Amino acid sequence: MTRKFDFIGLNTVISEAFKPLHHVTPATSRKAGMDAGIKGATPSNCHHSYFASTELETEWQAGYRLGKQNREQ
């Protein structure tokens, strides 16, 4: 059995994932953290742009804690 790996496709996915998000504010960072706490981590709610500064990371963590507390069991 031979397998072919799509390096071009992988490179495209990685390139898109590492593009910074535009207009990230503490409020959007908190909202993403809440989403991660409620629904679980995804590439969109754990994007590296939410951790670009201490303020954004602090808001994301606060949102994550709120989401974990309020998620449906």
Non-local (6+) Cβ contacts of 64 within 8 A are 33, 34, 36, 37
Q: Tell me the C-alpha distance between 42 and 47, whole Å.
A: 8
Confidence tier at 4 by pLDDT (50, 70, 90): confident
**Is this prediction's pTM over 0.85?**
no
Q: What per-residue confidence (pLDDT) applies to 21? A: 87
Q: Tell me the C-alpha distance between 69 and 73, whole Å.
A: 10
**Domain parsing of the chain, residue ranges:** 24-70
Say whether pLDDT at 67 is over 90. Answer: yes
Confidence tier at 2 by pLDDT (50, 70, 90): confident
Handedness of CA 25, 30, 33, 34 (dihedral sign): negative
